[in-house]
Structure 1
Amino acid sequence: MPRTPHFVKQIAAVCMLAGLAMAAQAAEIAVLSAGAIEPGLRAAVAAYDAQTGHHTRLTFNTAPALKKRMDGNPAFDVVIAPRAVIGEFAAASKLAETRANVGRVGMGVAVRDGAPVPDIRSAEALKQAVLDADSLVFNRASTGLYLEGLLKKWEVSAQVEGKTSRYPDGAAVMEHLLHGQGREIGFGAITEILLYRGKGLTLVGPVPEAVQNYTAYTAAPLASGTQQALAQELLAFLAGPVGKAAFVAAGITD
């Protein structure tokens, strides 16, 4: 039986209403996050958005920059930061009580493809590699702050200061290394180094366990957020099996 134009119009109207209903249920969730977990977080929220129909808007900053953003009137639903930073925000009553453990990221050593590979098998070997390098590159974020303290502990800060370059974030460190020369070594979050593997950089490996520094990242909804239910839903997804798998694949461990 041929379908009448009226029947076709009815079908079109139903489809339009269904589309409008789906659009009405979809929402945008704003997330402010530290940059070291970017690869895993992007993969995790892509899976979340595909499952829910929502859109997660991500903004990345270094830990020091996160503090500045939170000092203002942050228009975000969820913040993800190093555990100590989350503690500061919570103490200032800026966060809701719910927490989700995202994982932790270790510090690694990177060199340009084809450059001499330093021996980092022990803390003493790493210290010697730092002294022997033509130049050092690291950031001013969590990883760099820890390394700065390690160099002082080794009492070599004065010796390497003249050959050290520092940048605001890990991406700038990696870009510097790509265009460097000689025996130059860089330090950064392993997740950030892995993004450049196959693109011109080599991950020499994690720093020795004796001097390793893991930064643990935690997610929490903002206390002033207007989408508390959605924020809680996103946190549950990030801590669930699909979210965890995305983080582990990016080098973020429990």
Structure 2
Amino acid sequence: MVDPSDRRQGCTCLLDDVRCSLRAWRDPGALPAPFGSPATGCLIKEKTMKLLHKHQLAVLFLGCMAVSVAAQAEELKVMTSGGFTAAYKLLGPQYATSSGDTLDTILGPSMGKAPEAIPNRLARGEHADVVIMVGYALDDLIKQGKVDPASRVELADSRIGMVVKEGAAKPAIGTDSELKDTLLKAKSVAYSDSASGVYIEKELFKKLGIEKELAPKGKMIERIPVASVVAKGDYEVGFQQVAELLPVPGVTFVAKIPEDVQSVTRYAAGIPVNAEHPKQAKALLDYLASPKAQATVQSTGLDSVPR
């Protein structure tokens, strides 16, 4: 990248050259001999005309370059679901600054009945250049012919964690038996309507052998972060992907659930087949998956994808 001070210095030198040549053109005698003789006046005029022509071409070229860069900058419409949102909110502005593109972001779950869910938005005909969501939900959109299969990019892995209301005691959930005991003692349990909540309701409770006990006090929370209802005191404990729990105030993060009963959710992204700006969309996806983005990804509670 060219230093702006270099541009200013270059422009000053060009102007000095032009001024000097114009003075010589008007009064060749003002120059010291042998350049100040009338015989050399026509040569100086010819040199000055060439110099002016060269600078005019340079200015025209720079102007065309500026117009070209402005013309290439686009507004990308990005649909992203909860688990990768915290990382995207940090990385998106960095990409926009470096590329010149602007990002119009819409939030929604990867699945479910809510009208805000990404599959439901696309089914209604809403436009998007990029969709970021749970990997298997993205695969469904690819099978339906709504997302280009060649555009699929792996972004991050997400694990499930638990929160309690800020100020409440942190229960032990480091082992299967501790997690089971905590769930049985809890008066109410909240989990999301996205991938992690589906796993908790359909598989985790069954693995722990407490499916019947949890049925009356477990609740799938739609559209809003699980941690927000725990922060209000509506539910005693809440489960969701760690990256979705950490940004919410008013709760205390307890821990991830044990690895042997953990469900790892892969987040991926793709480009819809009717994207208006597929080239810029690919550049955004490459940036989100790049090595230099991984420290930011991990800071939000996600795990980098092994590559």
TM-score range, shorter chain: 0.7 to 0.9
Q: 1:48-87, aligned counterparts within 5 Å?
A: 48-64=95-111, 65-87=117-139
The answer on 1:119 being equivalent to 2:166 is: no
Match for residue 206 of structure 2? 152
In structure 2, what is the Cα distance between the partners aligned to 1:170 and 1:105?
Answer: 18
More strand by share: 1
Per-residue displacement from partner, 1:112-144 (whole Å, max 9, x unpaired)? 122121110111210111001121111111111
Identity percentage over the alignment?
25
What does the per-residue CA deviation read over 1:2-28, in whole Å, with 9 as the maximum and x for residues that have no partner?
Answer: xxxxxxxxxxxx999987665433210
Of the structure 1 ranges 236-245 and 34-43, higher mean CA displacement relative to structure 2 is found in: 236-245
Partner of 1:95 in structure 2? Answer: 147
Counterpart of 2:151 in 1: which secondary structure?
A: coil
1:244 to 270, 294, 301: 294
Contact 1:44 1:242 in 2 (8 A): no
CA distance in 2, matches of 1:112, 1:179: 8
Deviations 1:16-66 (A, max 9, x none): 998766543321011111111111011111110011111111111112122
The residue type equivalent to 1:130 in the other structure is L
Q: Any residues of structure 2 matched to 1:170-209 within 5 Å, and which?
A: 171=225, 173-180=226-233, 184-196=236-248, 199-209=249-259
Alignment length, in residue pairs? 239
Gaps of 5+ in 1: 1-13
User: Once superposed, what is the RMSD of the aligned Cα atoms?
Assistant: 2.4
In structure 2, what is the equivalent of residue 7 of structure 1?
A: none
User: What is aligned with 2:13?
Assistant: none
Structure label with greater radius of gyration: 2
Mapped to 2, the partners of 1:153 and 1:210 lie a distance apart of 10
What is the letter of the counterpart of residue 200 of structure 2? L
Give 2:215's aligned residue: 161
**Which of the pair has the greater relative contact order for Cα pairs under 8 Å at 6+ separation?**
1
1:43 and 2:79 equivalent?
Answer: no
CA distance in structure 2 between the aligned counterparts of 1:200 and 1:88, rounded to whole angstroms: 36
**Structure 2 gap segments, 5+ residues each:** 1-59, 112-116
- Residue 245 of structure 1 and its aligned partner are, at CA, apart by 2.8
Residue aligning to 1:28:
75
AA aligned opposite 2:88: L
**How far did residue 108 of structure 1 move?**
0.2
Task: Tell me the equivalent position of 1:11.
Answer: none
